[in-house]
Amino acid sequence: MTENNIKMTPSRISIERPDGVIAGWRWQNDGASPLLFCHATGFCASAYKQMLQHLSGRFDVFALDMRGHGKTTLPTEIGRFRSWDVYAADISAVLDQYAKTGWTLAGHSMGAIVVTMAARGRSDIGAINLVEPVAMPPITRILAQTPFWPIIARQFSLTRSALQRRSSWSARDDVLASYERKPVFRHWAPGVLSDYLEDGLTEESGGVRLSCNPTWEAATFQAHANDFWGAVRAAPAPISVLAADHRSSTVVAGADRRFERAGARIRKQTGVSHLIPMEMPDLAAQFVSDG
């Protein structure tokens, strides 16, 4: 990665929409190529600050909180939520509003799928770099459109875990102390957990709560009626994929071959899990920068 020594200081951004505000962070670097990054389910833009800081010398960086996450205030309608199209539409609206060209779109997990879907049909995209996309088999989309899907999706381990997740505490320090003991956070780079909790928690009377309601998180885990592979084939710019060589990877069996047939580049990385940007922010930044 060609990286300037000077790093930008991030500032909060709020993008007004007819039904609320899309919040996020920007490392403003006027004159640099624009980069838009989207987070994974249940997280928020602040969780990726270390990774994005590495990129701020080269790009004008925008990192957004998806609806139902972080400080974004757009409504969440679980009863009508069957795909991530609503997330992709939010991203498209932001791209339209800033009216820049040569965007690098990047995302992690759910965010990787969303930016790929948002890119479809656009002429202002220069590259699409995906970290651990939730690259489900095409049959998943078909099943997700049937009446049986809610029964199937309720059995997902991620859905069950989200619905059982504790959502409120008396103090931020209590959350940090609790999360630091959990195995999922054990391999995160120093400081990343605190960055996540900055916007991953919301102040409320008597304490704090998760910014992403566990019910909305569970609904997102179940919403797989996404034409992701159609978006990959129709992508207006080169796609690169960073996947973990680990049992937690969401680039499941056969996905690498489907990516390759569509002309995408695949890189497999050992020594990391699905949460690459949290565990190795510098490596993830290198990939997002160079593809």
The H-or-E segment that residue 106 falls in is strand 103-108
Going by C-alpha positions, the residue among 242, 241, 223, 264 that lies closest to residue 79 is 223
Neighbours of 139 (CB within 10 A): 8
DSSP helix/strand/coil, 117 = helix
Chain center to CA of 207: 27
Between CA 255 and CA 260 the distance in angstroms is: 9
In 70-97, which positions are buried (b, 16+ CB within 10 angstroms) versus exposed (e)?
bbbebebeeeebbbbbbbbebbbebbee
β-strand partners of 229: none
CB 248 within 8 A of CB 158: no
Q: What is the pLDDT of residue 80?
A: 81
Tokens of 17: 């929409």
* 160-219 pLDDT per residue, tens: 999 999 999 999 999 999 999 999 999 999 999 999 999 999 999 989 999 999 999 999
Q: Where are the domains of the chain?
A: 11-139+225-290
CATH 3.40.50.1820 applies to domain 11-139+225-290 = yes
pLDDT of residue 6: 66
List the end-to-end C-alpha distance of the chain, in Å, as a whole number: 10
Task: Give pLDDT < 50 ranges for the chain.
Answer: 2
- Report the pLDDT value the prediction gives residue 2, as an integer from 0 to 100: 45
What proportions of the chain, in percent to the nearest 5, are helix, strand and coil?
40, 20, 40
The whole model's pTM is what? 0.95
